[in-house]
Structure formats: C-alpha cells, structure tokens
Amino acid sequence: MAKYYEPMLFAGTSRHPNNMGMMAVLQEPVDGELLGEVAETLRERFPYFYVRAELSGNELIAVPNPLPITVRNTWEPTFLHSKEVNYHMTTFKYEGNAFAIEMSHVISDGSGAIPYFKSVLYLYLSRKTGIEFDPAGFRLPGDPISENETGDPFPSLNLDAVPETFYKKKVTSDFYDIHAKLADKLKKGKNIFLKIPEEKVMEICQDSDGSPNVLLSVLLAKAVRRMDPESDKTVLIGVSINHKAVLGNYDSYHLLSDVVYLDFPKNRENESLEKMCTIARGQLMLQVQPENSMNYVKTMQSGADMLDILPLPLRSVMTDLALDFVSRGTACVSYPNLRSLGPLDPYIREIFYLSEPDAFDVQIEAACINGSFCLVFAQSFLSEVFFEAFCQELEAAGIPVEIIRKDSCPLSGVRFDGIEEEKQKKLKEFFKKVFQH
C-alpha cells in the first residue's frame, strides 16, 4: 500500500521536471573541490538526498545511489537522473562566488531541503575558514537521524477520524490569468533576482498586522491592477504553506507543502496597503488550521491509494496533462521564514531559493539574510511589463529595489536515463490492452 509521504517520482517528467534549488552567493569565490568533499561528507547524515530512481514492478522508487554527487563549474542547466549527474536526483553547480544545489521537488520541499543547504554551508565555511562555528541549529555528520525526520511524519494521526475543517475557502476559478495577457510564442521564462531592505518590509508588516508573504501577495495584486486597470477579474494569489509545521513536525524531509489562496477582487483595489494586508492576513490564518492540514494529509493518502492501482506510465501522463492545461492562480509567493544562518551570516552575501514557474506563471521565492530580503521573481514569459509594475508597487510602498541579475530559468530538467524507455514500453502495452477490450 502506497504511503502519502513517500516520494512520487513519476510526478517529475521531461515536460514538467518539478525541480527546485537553493543558491548561496558567498563573499569569496567558491572552491569547487571543497564543495564536492562537503557534499560527500553529508551523505550519511542526509541519505534520502543521495538516491536514484529504480523501477520496481509498477512503482518508481528511490534507492541509495553510491555514485558521487556531481559538482559542475557552470551555471548551465543539466538533467537530474541523467548519466551526466551519475543518475542522482540532486546535483551541485557553482560559478564565481555562487553555488546552487538542485534537487527533485518530488522528494522534498523547501522546509525539508533547507536543513541540508544549511549543513552544506556550515561544513564548507568551517573548512574554508578553519573556524569552529557554533553547531547549534545545524544537522551535522554523527548527529542521530530521528524517525520524525525520515518516517511517517504523523504516526499518531488517525486518518479515519480526522475532524471536519473549521473553514474551507471556495477557490475562485475565473481569476486573472497573467499568462493569457503576457504569454509569448517562444515559451521561454525569465528569473529576476532582486533585494529589498528587511527593516522596511518588517515595519510595514508590523503596521498592517501582516507578514512578508502577505505583503508580497498584496503588492503582486496591486501590480496586476497597475498593469491592467481595465480588468475586473479577481486576482488570485497562492501562498505556500508547510503542513508539517502546522501539525508540529519540524524535522521531516518529506514533501508536504501546499498553497492557500488569497482573493483580491476589483472592488478592493482602492483600499490602503495596510487594510489590504490585514484582510489578506485574515484569509491566510483562516486556512492555516490543524484541521485543514489533517484533511490535506487524508486527501494525499486517498490520492496515493487511487494512483497505486494505475499503471506507472499513465501516472506521468496524467501529471503532464494536469500541468499542461491548468494554472492554479495568478501568481504565488513562497517564504520559508528563515532570516539568519547565525555565525555563517558574515561569510554570505545573498541567499536565493529557485523554482521554475509551472502551476503558476509567476512565482516569488523569498529568503532573508544580512538585513535584506532576497527575492527571485520567476516568470514563464519574457516580457518584463508585470515585473516593472511590481517594482513600482514596491517603490510606492517606500521599499527600494536593487536588481541583482536577470537570466533564463536556471534550473535543470529531468531525464530518467535507463528508465524512460521501459516506462514508454509499459505505456504502449497498457493502451494496447485497453483498445483490445
């Protein structure tokens, strides 16, 4: 029987890789050889990130991969689980002062991967500087791996006795679609890296009883109205949440993130920034409740049970079809609420979290370090019209913007070398049987 928390590797496909990344810009150039040594040192502490895919009957499962993690001196993307990266679902790359870890989002989420990222930084900077930093808050070699981290995240949760949700929001289906407004035939995306001052952001949040993810959501909604003032469609902003934390598990590496939705109807466009933040914060808090998270887990298990009976190749096809035609909202904001790496901060210039806009055509990934929020504004199109409107809203709120860099979406794809051929063979056999009947 499938478990809701087990990696669904079939959900990463060539059309929709479903990968994520974490990037650090250091004060000094990256030592690639040392970075590779650190990556291998952490293998025993984080074994679940050193895996490859293996076909097992009707399942695509994660198994230990003894081959070295690859560390590439280039910013060019590659393919996870390809021969080029030793069939790993995780890979490193570096260039100049920056390095990034790329990994499959179907194995973990931000809250599960950030402890690994922190440990990489801790060991790398310790060895590079020769300083014994305070290890508190870091998972290091020799530390025990708890069942809470790798096993069932909620072993005491009875899925047959989950209480009803306190509040269930009706999601707006006819929302403002940025892709329809700005999509181009090239189908190329762009990532824009920028910084905004933490002090000013937190000042606004305090005045409006908000939070950074709420403020960014409001500014995205206001940017839509600035860009397209004639539209009367509701702007729908997704906000990433962590169900594990809601239910009290702060250790699990498993993927259990989701989004809740904030509505910004046309008739609220002239409200003050503070009032819009307060209303949005209320919407957010109503949806982030233990009962809602328990029901999410129950739904995940029901979904795993249903998918378990389908042929493996068909699951990947369904994933592609769902993401080919469905946009889940106008835009999305993700902020894992990590604002310091303690003793490592002086050696780090910036931290950025990386994602590829897919279910949402605009995705803001937010990190915070050394007095600045580091944002990645990821979009599935080339036009910068919406980004410029967003920057104008930041400046109207008194938040200065520093643009760091712009580039194409830097994340790698996925290519199941040695497996994809067998999956396609199974898919053909499945459809042959269907049509025979």
Residue 17 and residue 80 in contact, taking contact as beta carbons nearer than 8 Å: yes
Please, what sign has the CA dihedral across residues 131, 135, 137, 142?
positive
Total count of residues recorded for the chain: 437
Residue that is written with structure tokens 């008739």 in the block:
267
pLDDT of residue 179: 78
Give the three-class secondary structure for 379: strand
pLDDT of residue 434: 57
Taking each helix axis from N to C end, the angle separating 420-436 and 312-325, rounded to the nearest 10 degrees, works out to 90
pLDDT of residue 394: 98
Domains and CATH numbers, the chain: 19-153 (3.30.559.10), 178-408 (3.30.559.10)
CA atoms within 13 A on the CB side of 320: 9
Q: How many CB atoms sit inside 10 A of residue 269's CB?
A: 16
pTM for the predicted model, two decimal places: 0.93
Cα distances (angstroms) measured from residue 250 to each of 112, 153, 230: 9, 9, 44
Residue 25 and residue 349 in contact, taking contact as beta carbons nearer than 8 Å: yes
pLDDT of residue 311: 81
Written as tens digits, the pLDDT of the chain (437 aa) is 689 999 988 888 888 889 999 999 999 999 999 999 999 999 999 999 999 999 888 888 999 999 999 999 999 999 999 999 999 999 999 999 999 999 999 999 999 999 999 999 999 999 999 999 999 999 999 999 999 999 999 999 999 999 988 888 887 888 999 877 776 655 678 899 999 999 999 999 999 888 999 999 999 999 999 999 999 999 999 999 999 999 999 999 999 999 999 999 999 999 999 999 999 999 999 999 999 999 999 999 998 888 888 888 788 778 777 776 666 899 999 998 788 999 999 999 999 999 988 889 899 999 999 999 999 999 988 889 999 999 999 999 999 999 999 988 679 999 998 887 776 666 566 556 655 65
Q: How many CB atoms sit inside 10 A of residue 403's CB?
A: 12
In sequence order, what are the residues at sequence separation of 6 or more whose Cβ sits closer than 8 angstroms to the Cβ of residue 380? 179, 183, 187, 189, 357, 358, 361, 362
Q: What's the CA gap between 23 and 405, in Å, rounded?
A: 13
pLDDT of residue 410: 73
8-state DSSP, 234:
B
- The amino acid sitting at 80 is L
8-state DSSP, 233:
S
State how far Cα 431 lies from the chain centre.
34
Closest-CA residue to 216 (of 232, 240, 192, 190):
240
Number of H helices, E strands in the chain: 12, 16
Q: What's the CA gap between 147 and 144, in Å, rounded?
A: 10
